[in-house]
Structure formats: C-alpha cells, structure tokens
C-alpha cells in the first residue's frame, strides 16, 4: 500500500556511502562469511526473531535506503507518529503505571486497590473473574469452581459499589478488562459513580470491549460477532454523546500474542480488529473524528527485545496512515495510536519463577523504548497462581526503577535511526500489510474471523514455536536449559478458597430477594425490545442496573434476542 | 517412540477444556503433538462439563482423557471428572491433565485419582511418552 523504492540522499535515512566505507563493509562480509555460527544451546535460532523474522548479523545504510525521513519517520508528535505520539514523550509525562488486579470478592479487591494506590500506582485496572466475563452470576451452575479465581466476581451494582468504596471516581481513571458484558460493566460503573454524586461526564477510563479478539484468541464471548459489534457501536455512540473522558474500546493484541501468535500477527490482527470497529461506527453514520480520538490499543511486550520495539513503532505508523489515508480522518488525534502494554504472561516460566522478574524488566524496557502510554508489569508468580502482594510490589517497583533510574526516558525514541530497528519496523509494517490484503480477500475482518482465518494462523504459529523449543533451537532458561531438577515451588501462593464462591453465591441470592422485582422485570423487558429494535441499548442497560438486575439476568435477556455463540473447533 | 507390541488401532485420546476457561493454546498444542505422534485425538472444544467430557470419552471408546485448566478451577473440575468416571464405570480410562496448577494441588489431585499433572514447561516428548505408555497399558488390559 505504501510503496517503497530507493529515495534520494537528501530525504533518505540511509545515505549513499563512500568508497572507503564500502570497502570496510566488504572486508567485514568476508570475515563474517568465514566465521562459523555459534554451536550449542539455543544456537538454532540465531538468525531469526522469536516470530521467525529472518535476521542479518549486521545492519547498515543499505537496509534503510528505502526509508524516507519525512514520510516514514517524521518527528515525535507528528504524523505518522513512528517516533511517538507526543513531541517530548516521557520528558513531559511518564507512562501510567497501571497494574491489573482483581481476585476473590469486591471487598478483597478493593483492599488491593487501596494498597496499590498507596504504593504510587497511578490508575486502576479491574480484572474480572470468568463467570463475570462470560455473563454468568456467581450462583450459576456454569460458575462452579471459577468464582473469584481469575479476577473479581461482580454480579450486580452492589458489588461494583463495594469494589470502589473509598476511591474517588472523579479523580482516578479506571480500566476495565471486560468484553462480552462491557456495556453492562460500564452501566454499573456509571450508576456507582452517580450514586456517589459524580456525573458520568466526569468519569475517565477505558473499557476493553474488544470482542473480535475474543473469537480470535481469548474465547470469552457471549453473542455471535455481529450483535456484539452492534452493542459496541451503541456504546461508542453513547460515550461520544455523554462521556467525553471515556475511552470506548481498547483494541487488544495482548491475548492474540498469548494465544501463540507471532509479533506480526499480533500487530496485523489487532489493527484489523480496530479498523473493523472504525468501519462499523462509520457505517452507523458517525463521523470518524468524532469517535476515533478515543480508541486505544493494548499490546503484549514479549521477550524478543528489538522485535517488540519495532512492532510498537510500526503500529503507530500503520494506524496513522490508514486513519488518514483510508478512513479520511482529519483530526490529528484520530491518527494517533495510543496504547497500553502488558509484559508477556506466556514468556514467564513456572520453573525458577524469580527469573520472571528479569524477563519482565526487559519486556518493560522494550515497552518504554517503544513509546507506550501505560504499562502493566507481570508479577513473577502469576504463572503459578494469583500474584501475592509482595510480588505485585516488585513488579510495580520494576516500572519505577525503569522510569526513574535508567534514564531511558530522557530522550524520545532513542532507537530511532538504528539501521536494525528501522529495518525491522519496516518489515513489521510490510508483514502487517500482507495480512491486511489476505483479510480483505475474506471481505473484511469480521468475515475472516467467522471463517477462522486468524485463529488458524495463530494455532500454526504457536505449534511451530513449541516445536522449536522442543527441538532445542531456542532456549528458555530453567525450562529446557539450566534446569534445577530438585526445585520446589514457593509455599506462599495466593489461593481463593471455596468460601468465596459460596459467600458470593449467597450474596447474589440476597440481592435478588431484596429489590423491587417488578422494576427488574420491566427494565429487562424494555432492554429486550431495545435489543430487538434499533434503539441504542445503553440507556436501557443503565435502567436495568439501577433496578439492581444482576449481570446474569441482563445477559440472559440479551441472549434471548441475540443467541449465544458457539465456536467451530479446530486445532 | 511406539513399543514393539503396539496395538494395531491407534490409541485414542480426548483433549478436553472444562468450565469457563478459554485458554486453549496448550490444549491445541498437545492435541496436535499427540496426533503427530500417531494417536487419534478428539478435541472437545471449550466449556465442557465433566459429564460431557466423560460421555464423549465413553462414546468414542477413548483410552485417555487429558484435561486442561488454566483458570484456577482445577480443584473443582478435576475431581468432578474423576467422580464421573467412577459413576460411569470408566475408571480404566487414563485421566491426566495440565495447566497452571500449583505443586501441592497437583499432588492432591493425583491422590484423588488423576494419573498425572503436567505444568507449564513440561516437554511435549514427556507428555507423549506418558500417554503412549499409560494408554497403551490400558489398551492391552481392556483389549
């Protein structure tokens, strides 16, 4: 799409080189050709990234000869934002340190939030448990054994009130990682705030809401793709009108990567999902500049340091180009890809878990060098269980050391102009554009997802990766090299007992008994009519929440109109 | 990797996901690896109940069931599958599993009748060897 041909010396990053330099390079090449590659552990993958992108031993001006300084790099804070979305980046403002947290019941999680805020965390990020994410109440048969395990259980607005007890929702920003029931969680948040006297227009935060990646990777869906996207567009429309500080969708590659994708797949499928929402909202008749400034992204930071930095830089450039050239956005804020980053859970190992602290530090640094707007650093023990308070503290301190001690924040895009990083950034963009072309052949991303295309690509990549580990081509310290055979696990893992599940089940039953049943019924009936018709569902969801309908009841009402999605299984 | 007295019909294994857990990367990789090792693999897909998993295993005349859980619900769902196997008189089916399962939980599950628990980082070759050996024994015993 953005053709690359050799450009002249004045505008190019790679200048024409002198005969003296050319001679030096030829000498190096001769030596390099004679030098045998390293043997032994992990030597099978010296010539490629973790995503199998081929690597040369040395990069030079010839590798960036096609890069035009003005067209491809520009300056920070200006189109195409390759070097960052703000003119001075972390010099003027550090990224937001935002640790994702949630477990057990709302009261326990509220205590963790107060702890994190007291330790210098700058924003909240809610992890919900599986039943909440799938639209089941804690006493549903499907919830058995899952309540409070992967996050906090939220059944009704009563739980949401407890979750934010003692926290000023007008002063803090909150990110909520929820997709299928995202609109319901937003309604609960609005009602919680308004009950405390904070109007919805003052609320700041982000909903993940990205449902397309659920079908692709994370598998926490409720309805089929099309009605889900309709509810998302309703939410975008509602927030545009009533919640100027709210970010409607956090288009997420994190889970795509965790499911085993390559870096380029993460980049391509995530951006394609984002463009699908842009297209859906435009099809509704919304102006792109009206909603696009409040779309944000969420990427994984994996262990292949330079590949990740290249991925982040490429993401900004691709997004800016498509938003301006393809979707006709005119507001520069619509061109800016803002993103949250989380270090790669799938790079953490159960063996020698302390090593994960080191992995997280490298991954966090890649995110900072890639220009992230906010960051979650994983805790060392998350591969074993929910993180303990101690390990969460280390993870947060890792960010603080990075931000305040290493000085990587002092210069904007410090790797910009690196022959290697620029070449790899361009390669990431090229691979993403190749995927966009394949997706277009399906008729668009929703169609590609329905056909299982990204799902297949990811499963193949994940199997290839696992095979390369098995073959010893790649080394994972503590797993297939440098093992400690007699290792025992740390004894102080955080576990959520059955009493939480029982207590939460009793609590939601108590909620159902203590409210005005007729008000619940009529609000749910009105919601069903809205779902079946054309009306925006948000006000109806807010009414249901005000009547203290539970999440499970609201979801059931919507399922009665939209149906539940079932996946065609493939491996 | 197959032994000399390998059965004529390939071993048949169910790879299962239970509860609300959508983490299917590991299950799919294991399913492919077992298939590539010459076994017949049936992947149940997501969100199966313990009853459904055991029913599928019986209907398919499977030699083994591998259950993957990464949501923390392992102490509820693994014992329910064991119970179902007992109730259906299908305890000869080799029941094993994997996921983010702490060591002490894994030991408890093995005490309850789960044959083996593989945790993150377990080599595919180790899992394949286990399944071939244990399911092979089951096949010989059952015929």
Query: Measured between alpha carbons, how far is A154 from A106 in angstroms, rounded to an integer?
Result: 7
Give pLDDT, residue A2: 47
Q: How far is CA A507 from CA A103, A139, A154, A499, in A?
A: 16, 9, 11, 12
Mutate which of B15, B20, B33 to test chain A, going by most A C-beta atoms within 10 A? Answer: B20
Q: Show the low-confidence residues of chain A (pLDDT under 50).
A: 1-4
Mutate to test the interface with A, among B121, B122, B124, B127 (most CBs of A within 10 A): B121
pLDDT confidence of residue B5: 55
CA distance A328 to B101: 50
**Helix extents (H) in A345-418:** 355-369, 389-404
Quote the minimal CA–CA distance from B17 to chain A in Å.
11
Distance from C-alpha of A105 to C-alpha of A147, rounded to nearest angstrom: 8
Question: Position of tokens 């380029």?
Answer: A264
Q: Which pLDDT value is given to residue A9?
A: 57
Rg (Cα) of chain B, in Å, rounded?
Answer: 14
Burial A11-29 (b: 16+ CB within 10 A, else e): ebbbeeeeeeeeeeeeeee
> Which among B24, B79, B126, B128 is the top mutation candidate for probing chain A, defined by the most A β-carbons within 10 Å of its own β-carbon?
B24
Other CB atoms within a 10 A radius of the CB of residue A282 amount to 17
Q: Cα distance from B72 to chain A (closest Cα, Å)? A: 6
Neighbour count for residue A339 (Cβ, 10 Å): 27
Helix H or strand E segment including A190: helix A182-195
CB contact at 8 A, A507 and A490 = no
Which 8-state DSSP code applies to residue A250? E
Q: Which residues of A touch B (CB under 8 A)?
A: 130-131, 133-134, 136, 142-146, 149-150, 214, 218-220, 258-260, 346, 349-351, 383-386, 459, 462-463, 466, 470, 476, 478-480, 488-489, 493, 495-496, 498, 567, 569, 571
This model of the complex carries an ipTM of 0.86
| Contact residues on chain A for B46, CB-CB shorter than 8 A | 219, 567, 569
φ and ψ at residue A490, rounded to 5 degrees: -60, 140
**Is residue B117 within 8 Å of B98, Cβ to Cβ?**
yes
Cβ–Cβ below 8 Å for A489 and B75: no
In tens, the pLDDT along A501-547 reads: 999 999 999 999 999 999 999 999 999 999 999 999 999 999 999 99
Tell me how crowded residue B73 is: count the other CB atoms within 10 A of its CB: 24
pLDDT of residue A109: 95
A317 Cα to chain B: minimum distance (Å): 30
**Longest CA pairwise span in chain B (Å):** 41
- Three-class DSSP category at A1: coil
CA nearest to A175, candidates A129, A206, A133, A201: A206
Chain-centre distance of CA B91, in angstroms? 13
d(CA A312, CA A306): 10
End-to-end Cα distance, chain B: 21
Chains A, B: CB contacts within 8 A come to 104
Q: A interface mutation test: which of B44, B72, B76, B117 has the most A CBs within 10 A?
A: B72
Cβ–Cβ gap A349/B102 under 8 Å: no
- Structure-token match 């990110």, residue found: A175
**Which contacts of A436-440 are long-range, i.e. CB under 8 A and separated by 24 or more positions?**
A436/A1, A436/A268, A436/A271, A436/A272, A439/A268, A439/A272
Q: How confident is the model at residue B4 (pLDDT cuts 50, 70, 90)?
A: low
B60/B15 Cα distance (integer angstroms): 12
B46 closest CA partner among A565, A229, A129, A551: A565
pLDDT tens, A57-70? 999 999 999 999 99
| Residue A130 to residue B21, Cβ atoms within 8 A | yes
Give the tens place of pLDDT for each residue, B42-68: 999 999 999 999 999 999 999 999 999
Strand partners, A342: A300, A376
Question: Is B73 within 8 Å of A149 when comparing Cβ atoms?
Answer: yes
A211, A216, A217, A223 alpha-carbon torsion, rounded to 10°: 40
Query: What is the least distance, in Å, from the CA of B141 to any CA of chain A?
Result: 30
Residue B2: pLDDT band (50, 70, 90) is: very low
Closest partner residue to B72 among A150, A478, A569, by Cβ?
A: A150
């Amino acid at each position: 799409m953005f053709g690359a041909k050799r450009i002249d010396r004045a505008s190019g990053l790679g200048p024409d080189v002198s005969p003296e330099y050319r001679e030096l390079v030829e000498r190096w090449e001769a030596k390099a050709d004679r030098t045998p590659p390293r043997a032994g552990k992990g030597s099978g993958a010296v010539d490629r990234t973790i995503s199998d992108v081929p690597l040369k031993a040395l990069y030079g001006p010839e590798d960036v000869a096609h890069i035009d300084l003005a067209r491809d790099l520009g300056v920070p804070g200006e189109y195409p934002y390759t070097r960052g979305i703000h003119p001075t980046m972390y010099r003027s403002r550090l990224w937001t340190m935002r640790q994702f947290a949630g477990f057990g019941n709302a009261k326990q999680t509220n205590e963790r939030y107060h702890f994190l805020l007291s330790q210098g965390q700058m924003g909240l990020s809610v992890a919900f448990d599986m039943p909440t994410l799938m639209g089941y109440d804690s006493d549903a048969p499907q919830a058995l054994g899952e309540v409070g395990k992967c996050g906090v259980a939220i059944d009704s607005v009563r739980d949401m009130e407890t979750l934010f007890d003692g926290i000023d929702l007008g002063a803090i920003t909150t990110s909520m990682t929820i997709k299928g029931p995202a609109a319901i969680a937003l309604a609960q948040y609005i009602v919680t705030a308004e009950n405390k006297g904070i109007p919805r227009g003052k609320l700041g935060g982000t909903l993940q809401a990205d449902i397309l990646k659920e079908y692709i990777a994370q598998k926490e869906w409720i309805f089929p793709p099309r009605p889900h996207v309709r509810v998302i567009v309703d939410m975008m429309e509602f927030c545009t009108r009533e919640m100027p500080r709210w970010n409607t969708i956090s288009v997420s590659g994190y889970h795509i990567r965790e499911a085993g994708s390559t870096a380029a797949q993460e980049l391509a499928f995530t951006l394609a999902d984002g463009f699908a929402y842009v297209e859906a909202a435009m099809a509704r008749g919304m102006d792109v500049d009206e909603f696009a400034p409040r779309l944000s992204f969420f990427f994984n930071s994996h262990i292949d340091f330079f590949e990740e930095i290249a991925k982040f830089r490429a993401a900004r450039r691709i997004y800016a180009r498509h938003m301006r050239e393809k979707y006709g956005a005119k507001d520069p804020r619509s061109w800016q890809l803002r993103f949250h980053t989380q270090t790669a859970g799938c790079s953490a190992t159960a063996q020698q878990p302390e090593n994960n602290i080191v992995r997280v530090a490298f991954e966090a640094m890649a995110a900072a060098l890639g220009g992230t707007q906010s960051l979650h650093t994983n805790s060392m023990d998350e591969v074993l269980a929910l993180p303990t308070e101690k390990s969460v503290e280390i993870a947060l301190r890792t960010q603080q050391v990075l931000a305040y001690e290493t000085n990587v924040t002092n210069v904007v895009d410090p790797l910009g102009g690196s022959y290697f990083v620029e070449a790899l950034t361009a390669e990431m963009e090229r691979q993403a554009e190749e995927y966009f072309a394949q997706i277009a052949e399906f008729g668009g991303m929703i169609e590609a997802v329905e056909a299982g295309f990204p799902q297949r690509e990811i499963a193949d990549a994940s199997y290839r990766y696992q095979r390369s580990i098995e073959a010893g081509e790649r080394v994972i310290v503590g797993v297939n090299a440098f093992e400690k055979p007699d290792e025992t696990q740390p004894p102080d893992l955080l576990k959520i007992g059955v009493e939480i599940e029982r207590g939460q089940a009793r609590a939601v039953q108590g909620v159902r008994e203590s409210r005005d049943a007729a008000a619940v019924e009529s609000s749910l009936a009105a919601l069903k009519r809205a779902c079946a018709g054309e009306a925006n569902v948000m006000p109806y969801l807010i009414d249901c929440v005000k009547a203290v309908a539970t999440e499970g009841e609201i979801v059931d009402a919507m399922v009665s109109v939209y149906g539940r999605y079932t996946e065609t299984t493939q491996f | 990797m197959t032994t000399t007295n390998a059965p004529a019909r390939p071993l048949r294994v169910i790879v299962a996901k239970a509860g609300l857990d959508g983490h299917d990367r590991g299950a799919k990789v294991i399913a492919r690896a077992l298939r590539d090792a010459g076994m017949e693999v049936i992947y149940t897909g997501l969100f199966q109940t313990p009853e459904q998993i055991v029913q599928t295993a019986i209907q398919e005349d499977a030699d083994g069931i591998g259950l993957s859980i990464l949501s923390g619900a392992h102490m509820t769902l693994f014992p329910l599958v064991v119970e179902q196997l007992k109730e259906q008189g299908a305890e000869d089916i080799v029941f094993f599993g994997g996921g983010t399962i702490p060591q002490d939980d894994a030991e408890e599950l093995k005490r309850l009748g789960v044959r083996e628990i593989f945790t993150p980082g377990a080599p595919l070759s180790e899992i394949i060897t286990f399944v071939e050996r244990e399911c092979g024994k089951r096949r010989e015993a059952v015929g």
